With several copies, the nearest count.
Chain A
Amino acid sequence: MIALLKRDLALAVRAGGGFGLGLAFFLIVITLVPFGVGPDTGLLGRIAPGIVWVAALLAALLSLDRIFALDHEDGSLPLLATSPLPLEGVALIKGLAHWITTGLPLTIVAPVLGFLLNLDTAAFPWLLASLALGTPALSMIGAFGAALTVGLRRGGLLMSLLVLPLYVPTLIFGALVVARGAEGFSTHMPLLMLAGITAGVFALMPFATAAALRINLR
């Protein structure tokens, strides 16, 4: 399993910067919003928590198809399925590798982008906390969506369609943490919910993902 994680990270780095690009996309979405909405900083500050979270979600989404599609195209997936590794473990590792290459860097730079959107400085720690807690769930849910659509040629958009509704609870609580943090309210409840979602997702999703993979490999 460590070998798989290492390989996936090596591939992400070699394939022209798997790390940098998720990040770049996040940055770009966030910079595009003011171009659309206009340069009013008060307005921007108010929508900032939601925008950052939606951008994080989209950045995660855009790289989901890397999770299984490449391995499917070159035939690695059936070979992994018949290898001694449990398919659940493969699913977990794949989700983890995705988080390390997109969720983690994105969490780290998020504060900088908070500046661009005039987010209240009080909300910065909450932004960091909510992303750190929530993005792993995005990756793992995404792995499930990727597994569902892995057989289909360019299932990218279909996958988005399947995954986005699953992202809604994470998005709501994540943005809520930041918004409450910005206004100085208690962030206890949404943070707890976020942690609960992530824990639940990591406990259950590997099984669902492995099941979907098994069906698609048939």
Chain B
Amino acid sequence: MELHVENLGVARGGVPVLDRVSFTLAAGAALVLRGPNGVGKTTLLRTLAGLQPALSGLVRYPEGAAAYASHADGIKAQLSVTENLAFWAAVHGVALPETVFATFDLEDLRDRMAGTLSAGQKRRLGLARLGVIGRKVLFLDEPTVSLDTFSVRMFARWLREDHLGAGGIAVIATHIDLGMEAPELDLTPFRADPMARGGSDEAFL
């Protein structure tokens, strides 16, 4: 199990955003992406997760091992917390682990309709999905937005012990401190020259 990224170039809206990004993560390793707003963190993560095509370069990890999580987490307001998680468990063909409610501090909210949760509670539900589906390679876009410090620590603990400890891999974009040691990668130096070749508009330059 390894995530290997080589000379990756990514684009958004037809404009190259990042260029020549390379790194390799072994099982159990995490990488924190840093960089100012608009540098291309979200674009990079979506490309890694296979949700949009790369401009150039190469991404390699075992097929069907990746999961992507962003602000919008596929939470249905009209389903209860348990129903939401049970659905994703069923889709991924796994049983809903009972421990997940304790891990993500959702015990008291089990039967609450997801639509009535507060911002941070909703975020915890979104993260709990990751604990349910058990994918090994996680691409997380600002996972701790709206979480209070206690929940941030709780999430970091889960990531460190349950996910990475079990041989998982994680790439995390964030502006705030996660309270866990992991190598950081500042994306500023990889900014693509907007006039560079590449992108779907290439033929017209």
Contact = CB atoms under 8 A, between A and B. Distances in A.
Answer yes or no: A and B touching, Cβ < 8 Å: yes
Contacts of A218: 51-53
Contacts of B152: none
B91 A4 contact: yes
Contacts of A7: 76, 79, 83, 87
Contacts of B78: 10-11, 14-15, 153
A79 B51 CA distance: 10
B70 A75 contact: yes
Interface residues of B, number: 28
A92 B49 CA distance: 25
Q: Name the prevailing secondary structure of the B interface residues.
A: loop
A189 B166 CA distance: 63
Nearest to A72: B72
30 contacts: A2-B90, A3-B87, A4-B91, A7-B76, A7-B87, A10-B83, A11-B78, A15-B78, A74-B72, A74-B74, A74-B77, A75-B70, A75-B74, A76-B76, A77-B74, A78-B51, A79-B67, A79-B68, A79-B129, A80-B91, A81-B51, A82-B51, A82-B66, A83-B91, A83-B133, A84-B93, A153-B78, A217-B51, A218-B51, A218-B52
**Which 5 pairs between the two chains have the least Cβ-Cβ distance?**
A75-B72, A3-B90, A76-B74, A14-B78, A79-B74
A14 B115 CA distance: 12
Interface of B: 49-53, 64, 66-68, 70-79, 83, 87-88, 90-93, 129, 133
A71 B79 contact: no
Given A15-B78, A79-B68, 8 more contacts: A3-B90, A71-B74, A74-B77, A78-B51, A83-B92, A84-B64, A84-B93, A153-B78
